[in-house]
Amino acid sequence: MGTEATSDTVLGGIRPLEAKLFNSLKTKSKKVILLAGPTACGKSEFSIEIAKAVGGEIVSADSMQVYRGMDIGTAKVSQGDQARVPHHLIDIRHLQESFNVVDFYYEARRACDSILARDRVPIIVGGSGFYFRTLLYGPPLGPPSIPEMREAIEEEMHRLGAERMYDKLKELDPDYAATITKNDRQKIIRALEIVTLTGDKVSNHQWKREQIIPDYKFYCWFLYRPRKLLYTRIDERCERMLDSGLLDEVRTLEKQGLRTNPSASQAIGYRQCLEYLDTPQTGEDYKQFVQDFKTASRHYAKRQFTWFRKESLFRWLNIEVHDFEISADLIIQDFLSS
């Protein structure tokens, strides 16, 4: 019995979806997909499926995955997954080097341009609302740093502690303070520096240019799961990280200068590990450490939800309601149909 041509075939053996993708890449060479979402929601696995479907490459929007050796605590994608789909902005810094949002902006744009030049699709993946907003609107505006003033504020931070400095920032700029925590020491210092230099709130300086940078066409999605289910996933992932050797990883990184990196040492998981290592490490200390780790991770997820509720460009997709294939198809069809 002969075989009939199915509805998903065309002349030359190219499926309609593949043909549509080919034409889309030729006519819309500046299309970029943004996949944001709270920690532990499943962004990495999901983004790999999207990348395989549209011929994409992934650009990490994670401030800690840039550091070599920070693997377990950042849930860095495996070498196997990186072999399946090219990843960018991973393992590009030594622990003793700095990396900030401006670095991310230029590194990410460079990666996107390189990917687009090869007729591939850049897919930006991460959970940092600050990084995503910078990519969309450009780096936040503000006066250049003055070393003497920065040193004075850092000395005050050392003397008074982060919590009191955070309280000071809340009095001066409650809107900006609400977007960070008392543990974001470098952001607190920079914010107080801007307020001191300008006499104005940080929130009044950020992104005064409220138009999207026009040279890319962005497709923005926020992936999420219901809060209760997400928190269970977060707790389970914290446990897996510990079972996989997070404490040993931190001990190794400590010898490489983890404590001297003001950002990396405050990253969730790493900060709690360092605090635990400073204790007598009794059973009760370990129990408190695990609890603090899980709590900090859940609080971070809550802040991510809060941030992206204010980002009108992002469409929310509950990936608990649909399976990965259906959810991915929604994004792929949206990308191809525009």
- Which domains are present in the chain? 14-140+208-337 (3.40.50.300), 147-205 (1.10.20.140)
Q: Which residue has the higher pLDDT, 3 or 25?
A: 25
pLDDT digits (tens, 9 = 90+) for 99-143: 888 899 999 999 999 999 999 999 999 999 989 999 998 887 777
**Would the pLDDT of 260 be above 80?**
yes
**Would the pLDDT of 198 be above 90?**
no
Cα separations in angstroms, 22 against 11, 13, 25, 55, 198: 15, 14, 5, 10, 50
Name the pairing type of β-strands 315-318 and 31-36. unpaired
pLDDT digits (tens, 9 = 90+) for 147-193: 778 888 988 998 999 999 999 999 998 888 888 888 888 889 989 98
What secondary structure letter does DSSP report for 117? H
Q: What was the pLDDT predicted at 205?
A: 67
pTM score above 0.85: no
The mean pLDDT of the chain is 87
Q: What was the pLDDT predicted at 12?
A: 33
**Would the pLDDT of 1 be above 50?**
no
Q: What was the pLDDT predicted at 27?
A: 41
The residue-averaged pLDDT of 36-63 equals 96
Question: Are the CB atoms for 91 and 66 separated by under 8 Å?
Answer: yes
DSSP H helices, the chain, are 16-27, 43-54, 79-84, 101-117, 129-137, 147-160, 162-172, 174-177, 185-198, 202-205, 227-243, 246-255, 270-277, 283-309, 324-337
pLDDT digits (tens, 9 = 90+) for 262-297: 889 989 999 999 999 999 999 999 999 999 999 999
The residue-averaged pLDDT of 244-265 equals 95
Q: Is 319 helix (H, G, I), strand (E, B) or coil?
A: coil
Cα separations in angstroms, 328 against 97, 269, 317: 36, 30, 10
The residue-averaged pLDDT of 311-327 equals 91
pLDDT digits (tens, 9 = 90+) for 69-89: 999 999 999 999 999 999 999
Residues paired with 218 in a beta bridge: 32
Q: What was the pLDDT predicted at 211?
A: 74
Q: Is 87 helix (H, G, I), strand (E, B) or coil?
A: strand
Band (206; pLDDT cuts 50, 70, 90): low
Name the pairing type of β-strands 31-36 and 87-88. unpaired
Q: What was the pLDDT predicted at 21?
A: 46
